[in-house]
Amino acid sequence: MKIFQSASCSTHSLEKPEFMIFVVVAAASFAAGFINAVAGGGSFLTFPVLVAAGLPSLAANASNTVAHFPAQVATGFAARDGLAKAQADHGINIAILAAISFFGAILGGLLLLLTPQAVFSQLVPWLILFATVVFACGNFFIADAKKFHLNATGVFIAQGLVAIYGGYFGGGIGILMLALLTLFGLRDLWLMNSVKILLSGLMNASATATFALAGVVHWRWTALVAICAIAGGYTGLHAARRVKPVVMKGFVTATGLALTVYFFVRPA
């Protein structure tokens, strides 16, 4: 894979830039895993560094989705007590939500593969902006949840839309699902977060299979992001009780806004 293109550069001169990109991707991936465990929104870090590593935006998005799947499995295992509690709650139909999430993400992944690269590159800043706004407004919706209410059918329809979006891009799906579960009437944040981890993991599982079969995943960078995100995720789970969520959420929001500006102004 060509990361830097220059006919006059020697192999020796390329080694240092490639190593620096490797270090930046590894560091961003560790930070993304940490942020996902504490607040969510880690894709805001890994997607742009994969683009910086030389991947086309569509391939970077697909590789980013696949890379975060192992970390979601690992954090899902760590949150298994919350999932058991959710399964015991007869007011939540986990099976239907899981099926909607899995198949909806397949549809979203197929839509991504059908999107021309040039078109997706134009959509990227708008997608990041949308995800950032959703993330930033999440606390407002949760705090004012008593003003709204969704019945089971409404939650299923809304989760289907979230799943399609998750398979297509994925930024901000965690806060979207937390908002939906709150509007459904849930208040136990640990239970809600456990359900969110399960459903987002299923979305990434189906998207991972879709992108892998389509051959759009760059496995070298995907493996690096996956390993470092798992390490960051476990670190984040242990630090979650010490780091104030509002600090991490503020950092994620600021990062999303900065990346929105960057992708709007960068040369095509």
Cα separation of 268 and 262, whole Å?
11
Compute how many other C-beta atoms are within 10 angstroms of the C-beta atom of residue 214.
13
- Round to whole Å and give the CA distance between 76 and 9: 45
**Residue 123 half-sphere exposure, CB side, CA atoms within 13 Å?**
15
| Residue 190 resides in a domain | yes
Count structural domains, the chain.
1
| Residue 160 pLDDT level (bands cut at 50, 70, 90) | very high
Where residue 213 falls among pLDDT bands split at 50, 70, 90? very high
Token readout for 198 is: 């399960």
Judge whether 7 lies within some domain: no
Asked whether residue 118 is domain-assigned, the answer is yes
Q: For residue 131, with 0-12 CB atoms within 10 Å meaning exposed, 13-18 middle and 19 or more buried, which class applies?
A: buried
pLDDT at 142: 53
Least trusted range by pLDDT, from 61-75, 97-111, 135-149, 195-209? 135-149
Q: Which amino acid is at 108?
A: G
**pLDDT tens figures, 48-94:** 899 989 999 899 999 998 998 887 777 667 666 666 666 666 567 78
CA angle 218, 219, 220 (to 5 degrees): 100
Q: What is the pLDDT of residues 226-245, one digit of tens each?
A: 999 999 888 877 776 676 76
**10 is a domain residue:** no
The token duo for 196 is 């969110």
Report pLDDT digits (tens) over 113-142.
999 988 888 888 888 888 778 767 765 555
User: Is the residue at 202 inside a domain?
Assistant: yes
Higher confidence at residue 189 or residue 134? 134
Position 184 in a domain:
yes
CA 173/CA 156 separation, integer angstroms: 15
Query: Given this model, what pLDDT does residue 10 score?
Result: 38
Phi-psi region of 217 (alpha: psi -120 to 50; beta: other; left: phi over 0): beta
Q: Is residue 12 part of a domain?
A: no
Residue 99, pLDDT > 90, answer yes
Res 184: pLDDT: 75
> How far is it, in rounded angstroms, from Cα 210 to Cα 118?
21
pLDDT at position 190: 64
Sign of CA dihedral 184, 188, 189, 195: negative
Is the pLDDT at 216 greater than 70? The verdict is yes
Torsion on CA atoms 206, 210, 212, 218, rounded to nearest 10 = -100
Measured between alpha carbons, how far is 109 from 113 in angstroms, rounded to an integer?
Answer: 6
Helix and strand tally (H, E) in the chain? 11, 0
C-alpha 26/C-alpha 18 separation (Å) is: 12
Q: What is the residue range of 232's domain?
A: 17-265
Does the structure show a pLDDT above 50 at 11? Answer: no
**Whole-number average pLDDT of the chain:** 78
Residues 6+ apart with CB under 8 A from 12: none
pLDDT score at 55: 92
- Which class for 240: exposed (0-12), middle (13-18), buried (19 or more C-beta within 10 A)? middle
In a domain, 91, yes or no: yes
